[in-house]
Amino acid sequence: MTATATRVLVLNSGSSSLKYQLLDMHDASRLAVGLVERIGEETSRLVHTPLATGGAKRETEGAMADHDAALKAVAAELAADGLGLDSPQLAAIGHRVVHGGLKFTAPTVIDDAVLTEIERLVPVAPLHNPANITGIRTARALRPDLPQVAVFDTAFHTTMPEYAARYAIDVATADAHRIRRYGFHGTSHAYVSRKTAALLGKGPSEVNVIVLHLGNGASASAVAGGRCVDTSMGLTPLEGLVMGTRSGDIDPAVTFHLKRVAGMSEDEVDELLNKKSGLIGLCGDNDMREIRRRIDEGDAQAKLAFDIYIHRLKKYLGAYTAVLGRVDAVAFTAGVGENAAPVREAAIAGLADMGMAVDADRNAVRSDEPRLISPEGSRVAVAVVPTDEELEIAQQTYALVSA
Ligand code: ADP
């Protein structure tokens, strides 16, 4: 890395998508952002926004057979803006890796041994780690000399005490198959809990925060003095809150019932709980905007879905209040948490005895900035704190390679 190398390329590789952002850590500015969708299909699409040059968004359609082709297309777009991957200003590539198991508790420079370890975790993250690995291999082939860093979704949660991380099942079976609660969205929970402390004018170690990351996937975490002590997702991102398409918590016996009584296969149950449940299963829509619109029109099914979603949120607020003992702040983040004022209002309604309340005027403000929505003088600060997982990945990556 040269003294002038301050840029970090952040890659988030999904099974058929590749999201990227090029940031300059000199001032944390974004130089370019983009997305490749439908990798492996005839109709792959790359959307590239060159923020540094202020140029217009560019869209390219056409078959991109694999992640290698997609990343090469991205590199060509960046090069067209004078931001090519061969630039000496590029310090590192930061990769989002969903599952780091117990071994990866911090961002890690990727070498062959690290890659092998990430591969070893595929059985516990079959939907996510293979795509992340493909992204890493592709980027390493393109720039073998450049430091590549893995930033793990699970890392922030590795501080959970054993009594929060273990399921109450036979220990030998659990250990043989690495079955435990890992938690996800950790990059977001880390970023948002830190930002929330800053909003209160405190350091992370001084505050206890409940973070509600409510996107299409959703999770809650209890963060005591900057360390995660509990989180709602478990072995996989299926556990916990009601999500866009995932059930969250259910009695595990439901799965036996679906197989024995409803005659469903393992894969069908998996698909039901991960893709056809949650809000979409309850009312046919997983977009909170559409659900609110239907409720405003008097749609009872949408209202019930909303009520189930809110009831689950309240249960986690209560549970994490008990886990933390003292709560200084509740932070709402991600697509729903940042934008859906009715969700925030309903989740906090009735919790005055827990010191939590929402001010209607403050809650109605729309902004990209962290902000308080609780009334002046509330015992617990309720806040909206926009997440920025890419910035957090870039910061963690840059901190590691520039140390
Ligand atoms: P992902 O988990 O895919 O990263 P996001 O954090 O982007 O998801 O959240 C996407 C969800 O946010 C959408 O499905 C929708 O329910 C919700 N959302 C986005 N914008 C709004 C809005 N203006 N009002 C209400 N909900 C919104």
pLDDT tens per residue, range 185-203:
999 999 999 999 999 999 9
Nearest to 389 by CA among 7, 119, 11, 105: 11
Task: Measure 288 CA to ligand 1 centroid, in angstroms.
Answer: 7
Residues 23-34 have pLDDT tens digits of 999 999 999 999
Q: Give the residue from 133, 152, 171 where a domain finishes.
A: 152
Is the pLDDT reported for residue 2 higher than 80? no
Residue 269 forms part of a structural domain: yes
Query: Is residue 136 domain-shared with residue 268, that is, in the same domain?
Result: no
Query: Which residue, by CA, sits nearest to atom 4 of ligand 1?
Result: 215
The residue to which tokens 């948490």 are assigned: 337
**Which atom of ligand 1 lies nearest, measured to the CA of 213?**
6
If asked whether residues 123 and 244 sit together in one domain, one would say: no
pLDDT surpasses 80 at 1: no
User: What is the separation of C-alpha 155 from the centre of its chain, rounded to a whole number of angstroms?
Assistant: 12
Q: Does one domain contain both 102 and 242?
A: no
Task: Specify if 394 maps to a domain.
Answer: no
Q: In angstroms, what is the span from residue 289 Cα to ligand 1's centroid?
A: 8
The residue-averaged pLDDT of 388-401 equals 96
Domain boundary residue, one of 121, 152, 183: 152
- Could you please report the per-residue DSSP string of 334-398? HHHHHH-HHHHHHHHTT-GGGT----HHHHH---SS-EE-SPTT-SSEEEE----HHHHHHHHHH
Residues 110 and 214 reside in one and the same domain? no
Q: What pLDDT score does 16 carry?
A: 87
Pocket mutation for ligand 1, best pick of 245, 246, 287 (most atoms within 8 Å of C-beta): 287
Confidence class for position 55, pLDDT limits 50, 70, 90: confident
Give me the long-range contacts of 343-351 (CB less than 8 A, separation at least 24). Answer: 343/214, 343/288, 343/309, 343/310, 343/313, 344/373, 344/382, 344/384, 346/306, 346/310, 347/212, 347/310, 347/313, 347/314, 347/317, 348/317, 348/382, 350/314, 351/314, 351/317
User: 146 and 212, same structural domain?
Assistant: no
The pLDDT-based confidence of 3 (bands split at 50, 70, 90) is: low
Number of domains in the chain: 2
Q: What confidence tier does 297 reach under pLDDT thresholds 50, 70, 90?
A: very high
Q: 147 and 216, same structural domain?
A: no
Residue 325: other Cβ atoms inside 10 A:
8
Domain annotation covers residue 176: no
Which tens digit of pLDDT belongs to each residue from 343-385?
999 999 999 999 999 999 999 999 999 999 999 999 999 999 9
Which of the following is catalytic: 153, 230, 285, 388? 153
Pocket residue to mutate for ligand 1, from 185, 192, 216, most atoms within 8 A of Cβ: 216
**What's the longest Cα–Cα distance across the chain?**
65
pLDDT at position 104, please? 96
Nearest CA to ligand 1 atom 20: 335
CA distance 353 to 344: 17
CA of 315 to the centre of ligand 1 (A): 22
CA-292 nearest atom, ligand 1: 25
Q: Give dist(CA 68, CA 66) in Å, integer.
A: 5
Per-residue pLDDT reduced to its tens digit, 68-117: 899 999 999 999 999 999 999 999 999 999 999 999 999 999 999 999 99
Structure tokens at 339: 């934008």
Pocket test for ligand 1, best of 274, 275, 288, 366 (most atoms within 8 A of CB): 288
Q: Which atom of ligand 1 is nearest to the CA of 343?
A: 25
Show the domain range for 280.
202-389
Among the listed residues 11, 190, 188, the one whose alpha carbon sits nearest the alpha carbon of residue 90: 11
What spacing in Å lies between the alpha carbon of 139 and ligand 1's midpoint?
Answer: 29
Report the b/e string of 144-164 with b at 16+ CB within 10 A.
eebbbbbbbbbbbbbebeeeb
> Using 50, 70 and 90 to split pLDDT, how confident is the model at 126?
confident
What is the rounded average pLDDT for all residues in the chain? 95
Query: Ligand 1 centre from 124 Cα, in Å?
Result: 27
Residues 343 and 221 in one domain: yes
The answer as to whether 396 is a domain residue is: no
Residue 380 lies in a domain: yes
Residue 95 lies in a domain: yes
Residue 125's pLDDT band, with cuts at 50, 70 and 90, is confident
Could you read off the pLDDT of 264-286 as tens digits, one per residue?
A: 999 999 999 999 999 999 999 99
What pLDDT shows up at residue 127?
78
Rg (CA), the chain: 21
pLDDT confidence of residue 403: 84
Q: What is the pLDDT of residues 142-175, one digit of tens each?
A: 899 999 999 999 999 999 999 999 999 999 999 9
- What CATH number should be reported for the domain holding residue 280? 3.30.420.40
Q: Are residues 114 and 240 in the same domain?
A: no
Residue ranges in 12-128 assigned as alpha helix (H): 67-80, 112-120
d(CA 391, CA 27): 11
Q: Which residues pair with 212 in a beta bridge?
A: 220, 332
Same domain, residue pair 104 and 224: no
Tokens of 257: 């019932």
DSSP, collapsed to helix, strand or coil, labels residue 194 as helix
Quote the CA–CA distance of 331 and 196 in Å, as a whole number.
7
Q: Could you tell me if 214 and 147 lie in one domain? A: no
CA nearest neighbour of 284 among 264, 301, 272, 309: 301
CB-based pocket (< 6 A), ligand 1: 215-217, 244, 286-289, 334-336, 339-340
Confidence check: pLDDT of 130 > 60: yes
Average pLDDT over residues 211-223: 97
Q: Where are the beta strands (DSSP E) in 120-270?
A: 148-152, 208-214, 218-224, 227-231
Last residue of a domain, one of 111, 127, 152: 152
User: Which ligand 1 atom is at minimum distance from the Cα of 291?
Assistant: 16
Torsion, Cα of 236, 40, 19, 276 (10° steps) = -40
Instruction: Determine the Cα–Cα distance for residues 131 and 265; give it in Å rounded to an integer.
Output: 25
Q: How far is the CA of 51 from the centre of ligand 1 (A)?
A: 23
Does 11 score more than 70 pLDDT? yes
Residue 35: phi and psi, rounded to 5, are -155, 135
**pLDDT score recorded for residue 32:** 97
pTM of the model: 0.94
In the chain, the amino acid numbered 312 is R
Can you give the pLDDT at residue 339? 97
HEC letters along 327-345? CCEEEEEHHHHHHCHHHHH
- Are 22 and 99 found together in one domain? yes
Is 161 inside a domain boundary? Answer: no
Same domain, yes or no, for 104 and 244?
Answer: no
Is 195 part of a structural domain of the chain? Answer: no
Is residue 153 among the annotated active site residues? yes
